[in-house]
Structure 1
Amino acid sequence: MTTGSAIELRRTTDSDAVWSTLIDIYVEVRADRLHRSHYSVERFGERLARHAAEPGWEAVIGFDRSVPIGFVYATTLQTDASWWRRMTPPLPEFRTRIPTVALKEGMLRTPWRGKGLARRGHEVFLAGRPEQQATLLVNPLAGNGKVKALYESWGYETISEQQPALDGPVLTAMLRAVRVR
């Protein structure tokens, strides 16, 4: 394992070229949950395929030498996207009219956590996006609330909640400006 400065971040819009890398990282990071239907590899593959077909799909993958260590991927939200319609409570209409990138999935393999790499990958990813705001969903129970607190430290604010899958958890919806001053 090397220091954070030796990590290479690669941007891609070709989901087919990185499919197996994303799946492999997912399997390792979610190993303790793969037995649950919502977290199964098959369901992740279905979500990945659906997301990769959406406008503006893009990923940033981190590599330590040639070893993939984590990724973030996102899509551009349309103003009529189900993402907005599922919010409870609903958001004011002006909020859904602002060009928005939705971070759909992000994860980092355990040996590389706690080194600032997740934030670095996140910020590099957002720096290359044309949208004005970024949104994501987080399980408020993940890491006993630590994951949500991490996103808050990156400038995200809670705006609503939603449950995208009937067999999945209720998630907190968060939002921030793409470029934080």
Structure 2
Amino acid sequence: MTTAPTIELRSFTDLGAARGDLLDVYAEVRAPLLHLPNYAVTSFGERLDRHGHEAGFQAVLAYADGLPVGYAYANRIEHGDRYWQRTTPTPGEEYTARPAAALKEIGVSPTWRGTGTARRIHDALLHGRDEEYVTLMVNAAAGDGKVHALYTSWGYEDLGHSQPSPASPVLTVMIRRSH
């Protein structure tokens, strides 16, 4: 019988306490893409700093032997938030009328992929949040479509498309109930 690898999940609501580890594990997770402007560590750091000061910020990091091996972070978005304004077609009121959790980033080090670590981080991030829905954006081409398929298997459904910045590819916006 196989057991899930031993990881420690730590939750943070203060960006300062987690920022260094988030940058380190991001650089490992996104290593093949770091040459692209949207994926550069400096670009991620700028987004992280902005998101880390928005309402409802929370990060969950997974550690193995004291080193970060995965992460996710989210914040709360309100009705009229630019997240919704950039989504086409315009999402229905059932999703946007109340605050929602926006999963901004999730990633797992290559050696930890396929171990269930991403799902454990995801579920720990959503545990205890009070938003009815959680939304995320995914590059449909990521992993030759495997990342989108993974989110679908977690209960997410396609909602529309968004291009958060000129340097970003067009992303698929997905949504599901938080719990």
What interval of TM-score do these two structures reach, taking the shorter chain for normalisation?
A: over 0.9
Structure 1 CA distance for aligned equivalents of residues 130 and 5 of structure 2: 26
Aligned partners of 1:44, 1:128: CA distance in 2, in Å? 26
Shift of 1:94: 3.1
Equivalent-residue separation in structure 2 for 1:10 and 1:18 (angstroms)? 9
Structure 2 letter corresponding to 1:44: F
Equivalent residue, structure 1, for 2:12? 12
CA distance in 1, matches of 2:4, 2:125: 16
User: Hey, what does 2:64 align to over in structure 1?
Assistant: 64
Deviations 1:32-85 (CA, angstroms, capped at 9, x unpaired) = 111111111111111001100110000011011311111000000111210000
Instruction: Show the counterpart of 1:81.
Output: 81
User: Does the residue aligned with 2:62 lie in a helix, a strand or coil?
Assistant: strand
For the residues of structure 2 that align with 1:98 and 1:135, how far apart are their CA atoms?
Answer: 13
Corresponding position of 2:130: 130
CA distance in structure 2 between the partners assigned to 1:51 and 1:34 by the alignment: 20
SS at match of 1:89: coil
Which one-letter code corresponds to 2:154 in the other structure? Answer: W
Q: Secondary structure at the match of 2:32?
A: coil
Q: Residue in 2 aligned with 1:155?
A: 155
2:21 corresponds in structure 1 to: 21
Aligned residue pairs: how many? 177
Equivalents in 2 of 1:56, 1:4: separation in Å? 30
Q: How far is the alpha carbon of 1:5 from its aligned partner?
A: 5.1
3-state SS of paired residue (1:155): coil
- What is the one-letter code of the residue matched to 1:47? R
- Cα separation, 2, equivalents of 1:34 and 1:6: 29
2:13 and 2:58 in contact (8 A); partners too: yes
RMSD: 1.1
After TM superposition, the runs of 4+ consecutive aligned structure 1 residues lying more than 6 A away are none
Q: Describe the superposition over 1:129-167 as per-residue Cα deviations: whole angstroms up to 9, x where unpaired.
A: 111110000000000000000000000000111000111
Structure 1: state its 5+ residue gaps.
none
Counterpart Cα distance in 1 of 2:90 and 2:24: 36
- Percent sequence identity is 46
Q: Distance between the aligned counterparts of 1:114 and 1:93, measured in 2?
A: 36
SS of aligned partner of 1:32: helix
Name the TM-score, length of structure 1 as normaliser. 0.94
Partner of 1:120: 120
CA deviations on 1:96-126 (whole Å, 9 max, x unpaired) are 0133100001100011110111111111211
